[in-house]
Amino acid sequence: MRGLMQEWPLLCHTIIDHAARNHPDRRIATRSVEGPIVSTTYGAVRQRALKVAQRLAGMSIRAGDRVGTLAWNTARHMEVWYGITGVGAIYHTVNPRLFHDQITYIINHAEDRLLFLDLNFVEQVEKLAETLKTVEAFIVLTDRENMPDTSLKNAICYEDWVTGADGDFAWVEVDENAGCGICYTSGTTGHPKGVVYSHRSNVLHALSVNMADFFGCSVKDVVMPVVPMFHANGWSLAFSAPMAGSEMVMPGRNLDGESLCSLINEFGVTMSAGVPTVWLGLQHYLQETGKKMPSLRRLVIGGSAVPFSSIRFFEEEQDAHVLHAWGMTEMSPIGTFGSLKPEYAALPREERYAVQTKQGHSLYTVEMKITDDDGNRLPWDGKTFGRLKCKGPAVAKAYFKGEGGEVLDAEGFFDTGDVATIDENGYMNITDRAKDVIKSGGEWISSIELENLAVGHPDVAEAAVIGLHHPKWDERPLLVIVAKDGKSPAKEDILGFMTDKVAKWWLPDDIVFVDEIPPTATGKIQKTELRKQFADYTLPTVDGPR
């Protein structure tokens, strides 16, 4: 017998409809790319999204067509997303920090018919325009007053374009399993691959990640998504926050400590989310100025492992609860959160922080397992490392146009490429990327754990660990360090600091100091570059015993 409940398709526009119906005047403040802070509401965003959809339909953009966006977090960018999905088309977020030929590759691969771009990307796109084969028009996200002279063919001023429509338009109803968004993986090897979200996966993921132990967005929150909408589906916040009716603050292009602190304090931000490097910048600013952010209650940190020292700082100095999140573009993107289960809540502080450094337990919509290289399941004992694999309604089953071939195992799980342990309480702990783990004498050493430990040293700003070839052990760790301004710690001092905190055989065989560690376009450590840089480096232990 079938259930007798209504079939109400899970479509993205239902989220902005809900927000506009129930929270029409809730504010969305944006630090605009032009400079001033501007405010709008869910009611107005929905109205303008309808106009975007109407205009797109007028340009013959149809269900399934791809439309690119190259833009910071602003209310305009959000209304463009809803307008694109509302006409049944697919938003393709382009990361401006990719190399030019990667931007060209992904726009051509996605066959974007239009490109919405922020004012400050006009020059960059002018240089590429000739290579973009499918883009018919460029819509600059600004008003007439700020519209630049540009060589872009068919350049359109967004405000003229959108305000010229009357908004008398009905959303295009598509199947809930239809594609609605594409985000390309950062592609450290080979070309980036496209992950295609469906309406259903976005809605289910936004619901699931909004539960109290995860984002927990509520109508009482003021949510500031710092993670850009062009990173991993913007961590879903453009869906989760309106779904909850939270007030929003969009930081635009200025993600430095001072700009973020001033927005948090001006608008009483209660929850924010971003990558560790951004929060390290904020942390340094707060330490230098002694400023406080009394409204901030929850700080979500993810995309890379959270240093223990950041957890301690935000918890103790700012009274903000740190929630460590793990996920990936292929997972819409959140998989787990290191929120504290009651069994840990009463632990002494330092032990609690140690639990928070784990990537945590999974959302309802994510099933996890760890396996050995032959696919056999490994125990959840908190010690055994294995390949982390996931399954769920918001986890990719293939890449766009079949790139990369079959990506699921026989049980339908996606291999995340991460290596992890899972403990008895379901807390997953990433020990490495499968390709970064250091294989020493048949055992694995976690580069991430060593990096976290090293940045806990008071004179260390950034740290990266790579495995270098070793004739006896196969690989041994080299620790690469950027010292804090004005500091020059000695190798012995750093090694001394790390000793006793990890197994002796995990300690790096050598330490080198550099001025800069190259970041990837998504702010992670570019280990491929470091490996090239130190390809000929000989570890001092090569000729002697460890």
Q: Which residue numbers are catalytic?
A: 185, 330, 439, 444
Nearer of residues 41 and 202 to ligand AMP, judged by Cβ? 202
Q: Is 386 in the site for ligand AMP (CB under 6 A)?
A: no
Nearest distance in Å: CB 410, ligand AMP: 22
Strand partners, 511: 479
Find the part of the chain contacting ligand AMP (CB under 6 A) among 23-31, 44-52, 289-297, 411-419: 411-419
Strand partners, 298: 271, 321
Q: Is 214 in the site for ligand AMP (CB under 6 A)?
A: no
286, two tokens: 């707060």
Among 68, 251, 302, 307, which residue sits at the site for ligand AMP (rule: CB under 6 A)? 302
Strand partners, 336: 326, 362
Find the part of the chain contacting ligand AMP (CB under 6 A) among 300-308, 398-406, 419-427, 537-545: 300-308
Among 185, 208, 318, 431, which residue sits at the site for ligand AMP (rule: CB under 6 A)? 185
Among 291, 391, 433, 531, which residue sits at the site for ligand AMP (rule: CB under 6 A)? 433
Distant-in-sequence, close-in-space partners of 295: CB < 8 Å, separation ≥ 6: 222, 264, 265, 268, 269, 270
Find the part of the chain contacting ligand AMP (CB under 6 A) among 21-29, 288-296, 371-379, 416-424: 416-424
Nearest distance in Å: CB 338, ligand AMP: 8
Nearest distance in Å: CB 302, ligand AMP: 4
Nearer of residues 234 and 303 to ligand AMP, judged by Cβ? 303
Nearest distance in Å: CB 185, ligand AMP: 6
Q: Is 333 in the site for ligand AMP (CB under 6 A)?
A: yes
Instruction: Please state, in angstroms and rounded to a whole number, the distance separating the CA atoms of residues 469 and 536.
Output: 10
Site string for ligand AMP, 33-72 (x = CB under 6 A): ----------------------------------------
Q: Is 305 in the site for ligand AMP (CB under 6 A)?
A: yes
Q: Is 359 in the site for ligand AMP (CB under 6 A)?
A: yes
CA 505 to chain centre: 33
The string of DSSP codes covering 261-305 is HHHHHHHT--EEEE-HHHHHHHHHHHHHH----TT--EEEEESSP
Q: How far is CA 113 from CA 141, 233, 491, 504, 525, in A?
A: 16, 20, 54, 56, 33
Q: Is 318 in the site for ligand AMP (CB under 6 A)?
A: no
Residue tagged 């997953």 (tokens): 428
Nearest distance in Å: CB 415, ligand AMP: 10
Q: Is 416 in the site for ligand AMP (CB under 6 A)?
A: yes
Contact 278, 226 (CB under 8 A): yes
Instruction: Please state, in angstroms and rounded to a whole number, the distance separating the CA atoms of residues 229 and 226.
Output: 9
Q: Is 232 in the site for ligand AMP (CB under 6 A)?
A: yes
Nearer of residues 186 and 246 to ligand AMP, judged by Cβ? 186
Find the part of the chain contacting ligand AMP (CB under 6 A) among 6-14, 393-401, 412-420, 464-472: 412-420
In this structure, what DSSP letter does residue 230 have?
T
540, two tokens: 């001092």
SS3 category, 44: helix
Please name which of 199, 196, 194, 206 lies closest in space to residue 245, comparing C-alpha atoms.
206
Nearest distance in Å: CB 262, ligand AMP: 27
Report residue 417: phi and psi, to 5°: 80, 0
Contact 112, 92 (CB under 8 A): yes
Nearest distance in Å: CB 186, ligand AMP: 5
Among 90, 428, 430, 525, which residue sits at the site for ligand AMP (rule: CB under 6 A)? 430
Nearest distance in Å: CB 360, ligand AMP: 9
Q: Is 73 in the site for ligand AMP (CB under 6 A)?
A: no
Q: Is 324 in the site for ligand AMP (CB under 6 A)?
A: yes
Q: Is 328 in the site for ligand AMP (CB under 6 A)?
A: yes
Nearer of residues 50 and 325 to ligand AMP, judged by Cβ? 325
Nearer of residues 142 and 429 to ligand AMP, judged by Cβ? 429
Nearer of residues 303 and 386 to ligand AMP, judged by Cβ? 303
Q: How far is CA 373 from CA 132, 194, 388, 389, 524, in A?
A: 41, 26, 11, 12, 26
Q: Is 522 in the site for ligand AMP (CB under 6 A)?
A: yes
Helix axes 13-22, 199-209, angle to 10 degrees: 50
Instruction: Please state, in angstroms and rounded to a whole number, the distance separating the CA atoms of residues 144 and 257.
Output: 31
Q: Is 18 in the site for ligand AMP (CB under 6 A)?
A: no
Distant-in-sequence, close-in-space partners of 188: CB < 8 Å, separation ≥ 6: 520, 526, 527, 528
SS3 annotation, 312-336: HHHHHHCCCEEEEEEECHHHCCEEE
Q: Is 429 in the site for ligand AMP (CB under 6 A)?
A: no
Nearest distance in Å: CB 452, ligand AMP: 10
Residue ranges binding ligand AMP (CB under 6 A): 185-186, 232, 302-305, 324-329, 333, 359, 416-418, 430, 433, 522
